Amino acid sequence: MTEPGISVIGGGITGASVAYHLSKETDRPVTVYEQRDKLSMETTNKSGAFVGYWGHEPPGRLQMMDYSMRLYNRFLDDAQTNLSYHFSPRLQVATTDDGVANLRERFKQNLGATIEEEGITTGMRRSPVQYLPSNRLAGSFLLPELELGPVMGATYSGNLGHLWPARQAAQEFVLRARENGVSFETGREVTEIVTKGGRVSGLIVDGEEIETDEVICTAGPWNKNILRAVGIDLPLKHTLGPMLVLQPQKESPHSLFSLKHEETGYYMRQNPDGTVFLGNNPGSYESAGTEYDPGDVTNTVPEELRSEGLEVAKSLLPYLEGANVVDEWVGVRSLTPDTEPIIGWTSIQGLSVASFNASGIQLSPCAGKIIANQVVHDEPTAYYESVSVSRFEGYGDYR
Ligand SMILES: Cc1cc2nc3c(=O)[nH]c(=O)nc-3n(C[C@H](O)[C@H](O)[C@H](O)COP(=O)(O)OP(=O)(O)OC[C@H]3O[C@@H](n4cnc5c(N)ncnc54)[C@H](O)[C@@H]3O)c2cc1C
């Protein structure tokens, strides 16, 4: 009797990475079901696609980054690739006393560093991160376009950049997975995971039951609802990720830092095509409190976020005065209680999941490897303790 195939729900970057890694480890047929007509058009395509080190990475995350960076380096080395990488070091700037206090506190907590009052303080993790009071900025970096007046303090993360275009990062996995025989079925919505006696027995796809004994749920912000229907309540929350694409009246001739405003969560980044991303990432799991059905979220950025964001952007980068909004969208970010991803086995045999804390572009390469090892070789992997949902109270140990 032939074994049934392995099924992946969702054709974003995570589903593509999982499919690619499975296809390297097994001869069983692998099928990815994607509800949209095109792959990777949801959270993946709406992402900033930053990859690198902010300075607050715990040891488990560093291990995952190591694998992911090596794999992206291989993709970028491929002469055929349309994927490109652009350095965009981050200055996180505070413009109030409270903002400076928060920035300094986080820097000290994350890096165990003490801060000298007037100097530059450097903390190490995978790459140096610095704290700079405002009076040290102009002497430390060339900062064309940045209005230093309102800035009272900043942290600098140098080893940071972005992949461009974001969707192409996923396509790199899709191309290779297809070469290995993976089937990507678009326009195919999974409406039910069928279970019998605590294990997966099939999927309902567009009304048709498909036999399968291994399902990997990589449906981005849809994961929460899909798994809830089979009795698994993942500790995930959502925030909205609004993005405006600005076309400046006159493009800057300079290469700019990416910026994040500590007090409001707005961030700005110069794109390779001269446009500027203006996004908002308001912060933590504790303050999130909301769950969104991504299917109900429209791509129009709410007016108050649009006007507040544009004000913040112009106050820090005056060259954006008069910039036109040429595109916009709203993505849905998933957040986990400890900011680390949830990857791997669940309480239902044959059902695995991968969900991220707004870091899926960075970490999905390694997520694919972890899931392939668990599903094909029954190996928990060295990452198990830091990524399994079992680390949270109320969830079992699935080894
Ligand atoms: C504004 C914003 C900025 C971000 N910036 C960064 C960043 O700089 N760096 C970073 O690493 N991460 C970033 N992220 C997070 C990152 O984009 C996500 O972690 C990552 O894209 C998740 O990919 P995914 O494949 O898991 O989910 P998705 O890309 O959402 O893919 C899930 C797919 O599943 C499909 N699907 C859902 N339900 C079903 C169903 N029932 N049947 C079939 N298909 C289904 C969906 O249509 C979708 O295509 C950002 C996120 C947002 C919103």
Residue 59: the pLDDT is 82
Residue with the smallest CA separation from ligand 1 atom 14 is: 358
Q: d(Cα 184, Cα 350) in Å, to the nearest integer?
A: 20
Mean pLDDT for the chain?
A: 94
Residues of the chain with CATH 3.30.9.10: 237-335
Mean pLDDT of 347-360: 97
pLDDT digit string, tens, across residues 132-177: 999 999 999 999 999 999 999 999 999 999 999 999 999 999 999 9
Residue 115: the pLDDT is 81
pLDDT exceeds 70 at position 1: no
Mean pLDDT of 105-125: 80
Residues of the chain with CATH 3.50.50.60: 6-81+165-235+338-391
Residue 110: the pLDDT is 82
- Residue 331 alpha carbon to ligand 1 centre in Å: 8
CA distances from 302 to 22, 45, 275, 321 (A): 40, 20, 21, 20
Mean pLDDT of 309-318: 98
Hunting for tokens 């990416």 — which residue is that? 258
Q: d(Cα 26, Cα 312) in Å, to the nearest integer?
A: 51
* Weakest-pLDDT range from 105-109, 321-325, 330-334: 105-109
pLDDT exceeds 80 at position 283: no
For domain 237-335, the question of CATH label 3.30.9.10 is answered with yes
pLDDT exceeds 80 at position 16: yes
Q: At what angle do helices 360-377 and 59-77 cross, to 10 degrees?
A: 100
391: number of Cβ within 10 Å: 18
DSSP structural state of residue 112: -
Mutate which of 193, 361, 363, 370 to test ligand 1's pocket (most atoms within 8 Å of Cβ)?
361
Q: Return the CATH number of 6-81+165-235+338-391, one of 3.50.50.60, 1.10.10.10, 3.40.50.2300, 3.90.1170.50.
A: 3.50.50.60
Is there a contact between 259 and 281 (Cβ–Cβ < 8 Å)? no
**Confidence class for position 45, pLDDT limits 50, 70, 90:** very high
pLDDT digit string, tens, across residues 236-250: 999 999 999 999 999
- Residue 341 alpha carbon to ligand 1 centre in Å: 13
- Residue 274 alpha carbon to ligand 1 centre in Å: 25
